[in-house]
Amino acid sequence: MKIQVYIVTGFLGAGKTTLVKRILSFSASLSKTIVLVNEFGKVGIDMTLIKETAAMDIVELKSGCICCSLRADMIETLQILRQKYAPERIIIEATGVADPLAVIEALGDRMLRPYFCLNKTVTVVDADFWEAREAFGEVFKSQVTRADIILLNKIDTLHAPRIPEILKEICLEAENARIIPTLHCNIDPDIFWSGSDPQEKTGRGTPPVFNPYDPGRDIYSLDSKNRSTAAKEAGFITFSFETTREMDEALFMHFLDTTPLELFRIKGPVRFAGKTRMLNFAGGKKQWQKWPDTASTCLAFVGWDVIEERVLKKLNTCLVQA
């Protein structure tokens, strides 16, 4: 039997890691499951978050994007995982700037195709960013159009009448996807783990807006000529900031409030006086959660046309003076 592969994709800050953590926490029989995490950058924040929940093997691909520089690395990693662990299923959490088309095509590589089968691609969409989707380019569009399931997440950020309108708009762009509005990616895990039989989509928990999946679709016969621009070519840059000194909370909050729009994502634990908090900053929105005390602040950044030195210089002014 082929190993079932589940791709979790979605733009930066949409809630991919939240979904993976939720899925892992709900299922009791995941001993044959491996989570493959792709981090765009040197600091593996999502890996740390998932390890809180997971009791199975987790493998991380760093310093690049699955859809471009790490394609060969992913193929090699999947081969090693198959031979070493003989898993029944693998979850691939792609970085937010990955084009799922390229990941799907990698699974069609002659070295992988006899052993792996793509079960489904699940895309998490931040409801608050849907209106600005054109600004995110072809990668965002591909994440939507290539999905089998789309979670319209963070619907609490929308006015209620707007939700069905956006669901219909997504339907027009993703004709074959099942679309589910969610808060904190809270879905029935059976929806994630189930197969692609369209009859399954008429059962318990089916949302009012969805289109049936075509089981006859050849997922490997995709037009590579229309492949979206790789993350690096699209101008994405990544860098990190680490320090063992405490951050001045007021100065750091001011730093976040004055962050340029081009610096889209900041994620990681921040050490303040007497406490540590996990920051998830995306598109100007801040989310904080409690975090065990750590000895350092460790932040990962993703942006467009950002001058790294200027950002790091501003961060250094937020340090508590010795």
CA 114, CA 190: separation in Å to the nearest integer?
A: 26
Residue 41 has, within 13 A of its CA and on its CB side, a CA count of 25
Give the side-chain half-sphere CA count within 13 A for 125. 37
Instruction: Give backbone dihedrals phi and psi of 88, rounded to 5 degrees, phi first.
Output: -90, -25
Q: Identify the band that residue 273 occupies on the pLDDT scale cut at 50, 70 and 90.
A: very high
Over 60: is that where the pLDDT of 186 sits?
Answer: yes
Q: Find which of 23-37, 200-214, 297-311 is predicted with most confidence, using mean pLDDT.
A: 297-311
pLDDT band of 283, cuts 50, 70, 90? low
Structure-block tokens of residue 69: 């520089």
Of 68 and 149, more confident: 149
Q: What is the DSSP string of 269-306?
A: EEEETTEEEEEEEETTEEEEEEE---SSEEEEEEEES-
Q: What is the pLDDT of residue 72?
A: 65
For position 269, what pLDDT does the model report? Answer: 92
Specify whether the CB–CB gap between 247 and 314 falls below 8 A.
Answer: no
Q: Is the pLDDT of residue 29 over 90?
A: no
Alpha helix segments (H runs only) across the chain: 16-26, 45-51, 71-85, 100-107, 137-145, 162-173, 189-193, 249-257, 308-316
Strands 89-93 and 178-181: unpaired
* 268 vs 265, more confident: 268
CA distance 187 to 242: 35
Of the candidates 99, 61, 16, the one whose C-alpha atom is nearest the C-alpha of residue 267 is 16
Task: Please say if the pLDDT value at position 216 is more than 50.
Answer: no
pLDDT over 70 at 83, yes or no: yes
Q: Give the pLDDT confidence score for residue 213 in this predicted structure.
A: 30
Model pLDDT, residue 59: 54
Euclidean distance between CA atoms 107 and 111, whole angstroms = 9
Distance CA 57, CA 146 (A): 27
Give the C-alpha separation, 93 to 65, whole Å: 11
Q: Is residue 234 over pLDDT 50?
A: no
Mean pLDDT of the chain: 76
For the chain, domains (ranges, CATH) are 3-226 (3.40.50.300), 236-316 (3.30.1220.10)
Q: What pLDDT is stored for residue 270 in this prediction? A: 94
Per-residue pLDDT at 240 exceeds 50 = yes
pLDDT band at 287 (very low <50, low <70, confident <90, very high): confident
The whole-number pLDDT of residue 193 equals 83
Which DSSP string do the residues of 147-200 spell out, in sequence order? -SEEEEE-GGGS-TTHHHHHHHHHHHH-TT-EEEE-STT---HHHHHS---GGG
Question: What's the rounded mean pLDDT across residues 37-66?
Answer: 50
| Percent of the chain residues topping a pLDDT of 90 | 24
Q: Which two tokens stand for residue 137?
A: 């380019």
Using DSSP bridges, classify how beta strands 178-181 and 149-153 pair: parallel, antiparallel or unpaired: parallel
Comparing 231 with 258, the larger pLDDT belongs to 258
- How far apart, in whole angstroms, are the C-alpha atoms of residue 274 and residue 35? 33
* CA distance readout (Å), 211 to 76, 172, 178, 202: 35, 10, 6, 11
116-126 vs 3-9, strand pairing mode: parallel
